[in-house]
C-alpha cells in the first residue's frame, strides 16, 4: 500500500500546480488582464494572442503589439483527516495536513503584428503548474498505513504497545510550458478566423520519504522494522514500516493545433476557440528509488495529456466608456489520458462561467472587475489527498494606466474561494491483513494572485 501511495504521488502532478484558473491541468490566466477581469474570451487586445487569437485581426491599427506579464501566487492545500489510529501519535483522531505552494515568478509574453486583414501572433507562458508545494508532515495516505500498525499489534496480543512516530515529507514542482504561434485573417468585413499550433513541454520533479518509523513497546520507542522483522509472527507488518524514499523527475512534450473564429460588429465582439488535445507521455529520470516499485525506474513512462478546450465569449460596449463581457469554458478532461486512468472518474470535464466589466475613466485610466465560477466534474473516486479538484469562485479587480501614447501598465489581484469536499471511507486504509477502520478526509484550498504587466505598441 505504501508503495502504491508513493507511486500515486509521483504521477499526480495536480497537487503541485501553482497559479490556477482553468481545468485540472490547464492555466487559462495567461496575462494580468485575466486577473483584473477573467472574461477575456472575446478580447481584441494584445492578450487575445492566447484568449481569442482570431480577434487580433480587429486590432485598431497596423503595427507591432507586445505584452510582458508576471504573476505571483500563494496557495494552501489543507486535508483535515479523521482516523482513529492517528490518536496513537499522541494527538487527536483528527489531524490536519497542510501544503503550501509558492509561485513568485510566472511570466507570460504575447506579441502580434497587424498588417491590414492579417495578424500574426505568438504566445509563451506557463500553461499548467508553475509552482512548488511542500507537505512538511507528509500526507494522511502516507501516515494512516503506519498508524494502524500499533492497533493491529494489540489485537494480536502484543503487550505494552503504545504510540508510534515517524518522519514523512513530500515536495514537488510542476511546470508546463507552452509556446504558441499562429495567424488570423479577416476574410470578410466582420468575420475572422485563426489557425495556430502550440508546443507543450512538461517538467515535474518530486522528492518524498517515510523514515525513522518507531513504535512504542514496553514504554520505549523502538525502530519498528527491527522488532517486527525478527519475529515471524509479525512478518506481514514488516513491509508496512520499511523506510521508503524516492527522487524522481519527469519530462515530456507534445504538439496540438488551435483554431478560432471572431465576429466584430458595432461595439459587439464574439470570439470562440478550440484547442485540440495534446498527447503527452512523461518519462522518468530517477536518482533514488527504495520503494521497490518498477514504475519508479529510470525511463518508465506515464500518460499526461493536456485536455482539449473549447471557449466562447462575448463583449459589448454599452456606452463608449463601459464594456461588459461574458464567457464559457469547457475542458474535455474525461477524454485525456491520465496516470492510473483517473479520467474515468471525471464526468463531463470542467465547466467555467465568466463575467466582467471594464470602465474607461478617461484617456489615461481604465478600471475593471470580473468573476469566474468553476464546476469540477470529478467524483469521489477521483479525489485523494495527492490529487483533488474543488468547485471554486474567483473574483478579480485591477486597472490599466496609459503611461505614454504606446505604453500601458496594468496591475491586478485575483482571489479564489474553494468549496470544501468531504470524502468518507468505510475502510480508510484498505489493506486485507489490517483491521477495517473508517475514516474521513475534508479537502480545502485557498489562492491569492497578484500581477503586473506592460503593453507596448509600435
User: Which CATH number do you get for residue 261?
Assistant: 2.40.160.60
Distance CA 81, CA 139 (A): 10
Whole-number Å distance between alpha carbons of 107 and 186: 30
Instruction: Identify each DSSP E strand in 332-438 by its residue range.
Output: 350-360, 365-375, 392-402, 407-418, 421-425
Q: At what angle do helices 140-155 and 2-11 cross, to 10 degrees?
A: 170
Q: What mean pLDDT do residues 108-135 have?
A: 91
Give Cβ neighbours of residue 126 (< 8 Å, ≥ 6 apart): 18, 19, 27, 106, 107, 108, 175, 176, 177, 178
In the DSSP assignment, the letter for residue 27 is -
- Over the stretch 326-346, which tens digit does the pLDDT of each residue have? 999 999 999 998 887 888 899
In whole angstroms, how far apart are CA 446 and each of 211, 412, 421, 443?
Answer: 30, 18, 13, 11
Mean pLDDT of the chain: 88
Q: Kindly report, residue by residue over 267-280, the tens digit of the pLDDT.
A: 999 999 999 999 99
pTM: predicted TM-score of the whole model, two decimal places: 0.90
Regarding predicted confidence, which is higher, 171 or 56?
56
The stretch 290-312 carries a mean pLDDT of: 87
Q: Is 352 helix (H, G, I), strand (E, B) or coil?
A: strand
Predicted pLDDT at 3? 44
pLDDT tens track for 192-237? 999 999 999 999 988 888 888 888 888 888 888 777 776 777 777 7
- Tell me the pLDDT tens digit for each residue of 409-435: 999 999 999 999 999 999 998 877 777
| Domain with 397 in it | 2-457
Partners of 450 in the beta sheet?
A: 72, 413
Report the number of distinct structural domains present in the chain: 1
- Is residue 304 packed enough to be buried (19+ CB in 10 Å), middle (13-18) or exposed (0-12)? buried
Amino acid at each position: 500500500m505504501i508503495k502504491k501511495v508513493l507511486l500515486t504521488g509521483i504521477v499526480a502532478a495536480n497537487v503541485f500546480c501553482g497559479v490556477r484558473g482553468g481545468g485540472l491541468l490547464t492555466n487559462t490566466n495567461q496575462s494580468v488582464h485575466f486577473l483584473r477581469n477573467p472574461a477575456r474570451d472575446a478580447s481584441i487586445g494584445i492578450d487575445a494572442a492566447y484568449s481569442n487569437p482570431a480577434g487580433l485581426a480587429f486590432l485598431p491599427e497596423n503595427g507591432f503589439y507586445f505584452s510582458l506579464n508576471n504573476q505571483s501566487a500563494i496557495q494552501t492545500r489543507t486535508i483535515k483527516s479523521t482516523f482513529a489510529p492517528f490518536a496513537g501519535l499522541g494527538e487527536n483522531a483528527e489531524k490536519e495536513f497542510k501544503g503550501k505552494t509558492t509561485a513568485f515568478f510566472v511570466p507570460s509574453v504575447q506579441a502580434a503584428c497587424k498588417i491590414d486583414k492579417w495578424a500574426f501572433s505568438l504566445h509563451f507562458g506557463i500553461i499548467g503548474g508553475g509552482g512548488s508545494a511542500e507537505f512538511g508532515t507528509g500526507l494522511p495516505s502516507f501516515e494512516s498505513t503506519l498508524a494502524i500498525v500499533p492497533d493491529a499489534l494489540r489485537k494480536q496480543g502484543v503487550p505494552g504497545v503504545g504510540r508510534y512516530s515517524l518522519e514523512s515529507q513530500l515536495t514537488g514542482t510542476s511546470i508546463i510550458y507552452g509556446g504558441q504561434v499562429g495567424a488570423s485573417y479577416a476574410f470578410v468585413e466582420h468575420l475572422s478566423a485563426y489557425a495556430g499550433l502550440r508546443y507543450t513541454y512538461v517538467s515535474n520533479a518530486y522528492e518524498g520519504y517515510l523514515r525513522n518509523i518507531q513504535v512504542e513497546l514496553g514504554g520505549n520507542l523502538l525502530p519498528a522494522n527491527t522488532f517486527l522483522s525478527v519475529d515471524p509472527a509479525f512478518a506481514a507488518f514488516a513491509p508496512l514500516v520499511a523506510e521508503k524514499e524516492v527522487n524522481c523527475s519527469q519530462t515530456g512534450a507534445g504538439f496540438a493545433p488551435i483554431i478560432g473564429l471572431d465576429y466584430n460588429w458595432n461595439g459587439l465582439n464574439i470570439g470562440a476557440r478550440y484547442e485540440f488535445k495534446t498527447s503527452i507521455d512523461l518519462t522518468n529520470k530517477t536518482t533514488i528509488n527504495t520503494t521497490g516499485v518498477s514504475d519508479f525506474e529510470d525511463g518508465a513512462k506515464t500518460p499526461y495529456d493536456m485536455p482539449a478546450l473549447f471557449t466562447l465569449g462575448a463583449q459589448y460596449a454599452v456606452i463608449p466608456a463601459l464594456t461588459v463581457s461574458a464567457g464559457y469554458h469547457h475542458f474535455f478532461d474525461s477524454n485525456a489520458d491520465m496516470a492510473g486512468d483517473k479520467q474515468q472518474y471525471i464526468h463531463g470535464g470542467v465547466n467555467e462561467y465568466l463575467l466582467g466589466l471594464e470602465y474607461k475613466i478617461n484617456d489615461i485610466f481604465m478600471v475593471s472587475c470580473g468573476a469566474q465560477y468553476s464546476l469540477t466534474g470529478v467524483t469521489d473516486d477521483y479525489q485523494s489527498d495527492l490529487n483533488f479538484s474543488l468547485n471554486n469562485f474567483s473574483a478579480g479587480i485591477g486597472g490599466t494606466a496609459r503611461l505614454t501614447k504606446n505604453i500601458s501598465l496594468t496591475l491586478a489581484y485575483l482571489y479564489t474561494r474553494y468549496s470544501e469536499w468531504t470524502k468518507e471511507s468505510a475502510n480508510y486504509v484498505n489493506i486485507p491483513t489490517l483491521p477495517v477502520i473508517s475514516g474521513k478526509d475534508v479537502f480545502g484550498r485557498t489562492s491569492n494572485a497578484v500581477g503586473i504587466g506592460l503593453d507596448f505598441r509600435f
